[in-house]
Structure formats: C-alpha cells, structure tokens
Structure 1
Amino acid sequence: MCRFYSHGLLFHPALNPYDYYWRFDDDSYLTHPLDFDPFETLDKQGCVYGYRSLMREDPKRTEGQGLKEIMTLTRKFARKNRLSLKHLRRFTDWLGRSNGKQYYTNFEINKLSFWRNNTLFKEYISLLEHADGFYKYRWGDALTRTLACSVFLKPEQIHHFTTISYRHNYHAAVTDSVDINYFIPDEIDRSASLVQELGALHIPGDA
C-alpha cells in the first residue's frame, strides 16, 4: 500500500482522464461543509500539491525503518541533479536528520501532469525502487511524498488547506490548525456524532 500511494497511484491508467486526484480514504470524512472548490484553488494559484495537515513521526521510532538511508539517497540525488535542498530544511533538525514532520497523505491533492512529465522524478522513484526500501524498511507514502515535494517543488507550488475540517480514523484537523490532532478511541463516539456530521455535509455542485 505504501509503495502504491508513494508513486503507483500517480501513474495509474484509471486517472488518465483527470488533471488532479484527491486522496480521501473510505474511513475519512469532512466535518463541515465546503464552500469552495479545492481543485479550482490549486489551479488558480498554479499549485501542484495540496495538503491539509502535517503529521509527526517519532524519528527514534522510525530509525530502524531505513530513515537514514532514504535521506542520504535523496540528498545525493538532489545534489547530483542540482536540485535545491532548501525546502527540505523544514523537515530536518540542525544536524540534517529527519525531525519527524511529514505531510499527512491521507488527505492530499496532486496535479498528475507535473509528476508524470517530470523525468527527474521518475529517476528518483527508480532510485528508491532499486534500493528496495519499500520492502526492506516499509518506507511510507507520507515520508516519500514529503521528500519528493521538498526536492521537486517550490514552496509556492504547495498549498495548505487550513480551512477544511477533516477526520480520518483517530486523526482530526480543525479549522485553522496546522498539525493533525490525535484522539484515543474512548474519546470518540463512533455512532451518533458521525451520522450527525455526515448528514450536514454539502459539497459545492451538489443539489
């Protein structure tokens, strides 16, 4: 799954007729009505990637998952191809190690043509594939997407949807928040509240 969402979905033929895709898992939902079109927002601003929140992985917990290896591969690739590493600093500590911040990819919008037509991105994915990190270390799609966006995109090509309230499983993002909030199971009523919130959902264009 992580490998598929990292890059397989970007090149899936079922998406050929579309300009963008919005990943929204089947156990996710919007907790408030949308009063704008997210795709139109990205298009008007010339953005390639849209995200809702940042998540935080404990770097110590993921040390055994090849974190150092993928960071090293990414830096070497960027330097070899004269790609800027400036944006990557947002996701590293002062020693250049991952600080655990990643885009929360259960909610993301991607412009397909940018990635599909980017030769260097395809070479980068090939590099990761040959390293076998998806199988040996279970490199996650949040990690690989964060690295790819940091290397291949300028900050102005990335849009943060701060006004969308969203929940996925035990993760939630409320209006104007930056990071994902985590809730323990006992704090969530999975019955009446879910039905009530979904009943109020309205997407622009619906009758």
Structure 2
Amino acid sequence: MKQHILSCTTKYYKQISISFLLINFTTSVRPTNTSQLDKSMGYRLMCRFWTYDVFYHPAVREGGYEYLMRMDDDSYFADDTKEDLFVYMKRKDLDYGYRALYSEPIEPLKLLLRQLFGKKPIIINCIYNNFFLIRLKWYYESKEVQKLIDNLLRDDLILREYIGDGCAHGTMLKLDTRAQVERLERLSYGHNYHIMAPTLSKVIFKATEGFSEELIKSCQQLTVLRSFKGKLHRINIS
C-alpha cells in the first residue's frame, strides 16, 4: 500500500512530500461485557486514535501545523471543492468543519456527561467523521474539550465501554459553545457506498456493482459515485 500511494502520487505531483508513520495499535485493555461487543478492540483503538492519539503524535504536535484534516482511504470528493478547504477554514475563522451526522447508541457517553455536568440532558449529534477539518489550537486549548478527553482516557473508558470517535467529536462541539463550526453541505462527498450530494443533509447508501474493483485503477483515475442511482463516474488523473 505504501509503495502504491507513493507511485500514484509522485508520478504526477513530484513536489508533494508524503510521510508514513507507524502507529502502535496494541493494548491489554479488554472490553466490558455490557459494551458493544460487535466493536472489536482494533476498531476501538481506531476511535481513540482519532479522538486523542493523532493529536499528540510527534508528527502532528511538533509539526507546526494549524489544521488537521482526516480523509479515509475509501473517502472521496465527487466534484471540485471550488476552494482549498484549508484556505476556506482560515478565511471563515472556523475551528471545525464536517460534512454529515450519524447516530449510534451512546449510553456510556451519556452516563459520563451526567457525572460531569449533572442531570440536565445533553443531546449529542455524532459527526460522520471519516472526513473532518479541525483547528489544532482549538483542540489543545479548549478547556471543555480537554476535560472531556481526560475523562474518556481515564481508566481507558473509551476502550472498555466503546465510545465512537464521531460521537466524541460531536460532544466536543456541544460542550464548547464558543467553537466556530460549519457543516460543509456544499461539498459533494462520498465514503465508499455512502453518498452525500451537495446541499443535502442526509446520507444515502447505494451499493454499486464494480465499484470496489475500480479502486485498483486509482493511479490512473478517480472513481466516484455522484448520484443516488449508483452510477460510476471515472475521472482521468493520468
């Protein structure tokens, strides 16, 4: 995979510098029997990574970066973004940008929030965060964010009970009412078979025959789903 990414990218864009860093996804923590046992420990470690670990990896913490963007390897923009997203975040003075929301059971998170903030219910919208942009200064300096993160890490709660990273991000945004946040609805975005058309808030799932097979041609073309009909669009990048 590493060589594939390098050969695809540097073949056409020789000025781009790409670094690969190993992440230690091992732990002795075991999930509680009452947690969502369909979520493997590997998946839980991934959730912790995008909630905490990535922000304190030396490559990020010491890199002098202003923003961080996540883009999963099976995510894509189905059309031109019109503007560099980092420039857009800077111009709009945003702390966080995302495309869509989702929901899942969050009882352990609700219990934690009741312990921290009393009985007043807090409604959480989980971020569909296989794509997001975040201002690192906000993450590091927000007292509300850091209080939440500290409690998620205490006694490995985020691993033992399973708390998804999207719901953790949604909670960060809910707790820090000063955060400047935007749902980037004008982006035509896809995550494997999940399609998010411009201006529409809902996520459509459209399994499409041949889509996975097309991905092996990623050096020559970008293959995306643009419509709810499940039609493949191929964009030549060679």
Structure with the larger helix share:
1
Aligned to 1:180, which of 203, 218, 228?
A: 203
Task: Say whether 1:160 aligns with 2:183.
Answer: yes
User: Structure 1 CA distance, aligned partners of 2:234 and 2:182?
Assistant: 26
Deviation at 1:68? 2.3
Question: Counterparts of 1:197 and 1:7 in 2: how far apart (Å)?
Answer: 36
Give aligned pairs, total.
175
The residue correspondences of 1:7-18 to structure 2 (distance < 5 A) are 7-15=52-60, 16-18=63-65
What SS does the corresponding residue of 1:132 show, helix, strand or coil? helix
Residue 97 of structure 1: aligned partner: none
Task: Quote the Cα distance in structure 1 between the aligned partners of 2:76 and 2:108.
Answer: 35
State the match for 2:111 in structure 1. Answer: 72
Report what 2:145 is aligned to. 121
Amino acid at match of 1:72: L
**Which residue, 2, 22, 25 being the options, matches 2:69?**
22
Q: Which residue of 1 aligns with 2:235?
A: 199
* Local SS of the residue matching 1:199: strand
**Contact map agreement 2:77 2:188 (CA 8 A) in 1:** yes
2:133 maps to a residue whose letter is I
1:38 maps to 85
The CA RMSD over aligned residues, in Å, is 2.7
Paired residues of 2:145 and 2:175 also in contact (CA < 8 A): no
Relative distance call for 1:200 and 1:104 in structure 2 (3 A) is farther
| From 168, 186, 199, the counterpart of 1:144 | 168
Percent identity (aligned): 24
Which 5+ residue runs of structure 2 have no aligned equivalent?
A: 1-45, 215-221, 225-231
Go from structure 1 to structure 2 and tell me whether the alpha carbon gap of 1:17 and 1:69 turns closer, same or farther (over 3 Å shift). same
In structure 2, relative to structure 1, the CA distance for the partners of 1:172 and 1:145 (3 Å cut) is: same
Q: TM-score, normalised by structure 2?
A: 0.64
Larger Rg: 2
Q: Secondary structure at the match of 1:109?
A: strand
Deviation at 1:147, TM superposition (A): 0.7
Q: SS state of the match for residue 195, structure 2?
A: strand
Q: One-letter code of the match for 2:76? A: Y
